[in-house]
Amino acid sequence: MARTSNREKILTEGLRVVHERGFANASVRDIVQAAGVPQGSFTNHFASKEAFGLEIIDLYDAAGRALGARTLLNEALPPLQRLHAWLQAGRESMAACSMRNGCLLGNFAADACEQSGSIRRRVLAAFSELQASVACCLRAAVAAGEIDAQLDCDDVAGFIVASLQGANLLAKVTGEAAPLDRFERLLFERILPAPRSS
């Protein structure tokens, strides 16, 4: 079995620590202690904490893209079922940490974007890609006759991503799934209209 490198340990454990505490509140010392490596290992592998932050955003985003491929972009499933599956996976991830951690991208948006233009641009790119995947799923739902053909898929996809971030934040603050449940219920009952009868 391949031995995990110090760099991989720092990234894996560092992502967990930053997700739990926030980027600003997670010190390099916290990160290397969680990884069980000497403090010098951090500076050996990362030019700065900002460079490390960009790499953990990449890791988190890669996992998000893989989830999107299994759900939102999975042509083996009916489109609205894909959207349900994507939301359910996110809800399960939140539940696994008792709603405490929220979305890492949203946390970075609130926590680090003012201090780092590079982080702001990377987070924005991740959100843009996610919005494009949601829009693709909605266009497939229109083509399948699951939702109204008049729907502006790009506009609604932007609404879904932004509203879900708000629901994640409220779930994090309250420690309850109710904001996520409300968002999903209203999305499918009120926001995504059934096709108009001719």
- pLDDT (tens digit, 9 = 90+) per residue, 127-178? 999 999 999 999 999 999 999 999 999 999 999 999 999 999 999 999 999 9
- Indicate if the pLDDT at residue 1 is higher than 90: no
| Residue 198 located in a structural domain | no
Residues in Cβ contact with 176 at an 8 Å cutoff, skipping those fewer than 6 apart? 99
pLDDT band at 33 (very low <50, low <70, confident <90, very high): very high
Separation of alpha carbons 35 and 14, rounded Å: 7
3-12, 28-37, 68-77, 149-158: segment of lowest average pLDDT: 3-12
Looking from the CA of 125 toward its CB, the CA atoms found within 13 Å total 12
Q: What is the CATH number of the domain that holds 64?
A: 1.10.357.10
Q: Are residues 1 and 62 in the same domain?
A: no
Residues with Cβ within 8 Å of residue 55, at least 6 apart in sequence: 11, 46
Residues 19, 58, single domain; the answer is: no
- Say if 196 falls within a structural domain: no
Q: Answer yes or no: is 153 within a domain.
A: yes
Same domain, 33 and 75: no
Q: Phi-psi region for residue 12, left (φ > 0), alpha (ψ -120 to 50) or beta?
A: alpha
Structural domain boundaries, residue 117:
54-191
In a shared domain, residues 82 and 174: yes
Q: Is residue 191 over pLDDT 90?
A: yes
Mean pLDDT for the chain overall: 95
Residues 97 and 135 in one domain: yes
Q: Answer whether 132's CB lies under 8 Å from 157's CB.
A: yes
172 and 91 in a single domain? The answer is yes
Q: Could you tell me the CA-to-CA distances from 187 to 15, 83, 147, 163, 190 in Å, in that order? A: 31, 10, 12, 10, 6
Token match 């940490």: residue?
A: 97
Residues 37 and 69 placed together within one structural domain of the fold: no
Same domain, 41 and 69: no
Instruction: Provide the domain count of the chain.
Output: 2
Average pLDDT over residues 74-101: 96
Q: What is the pTM of this model?
A: 0.94
Residues 85 and 171 in one domain: yes
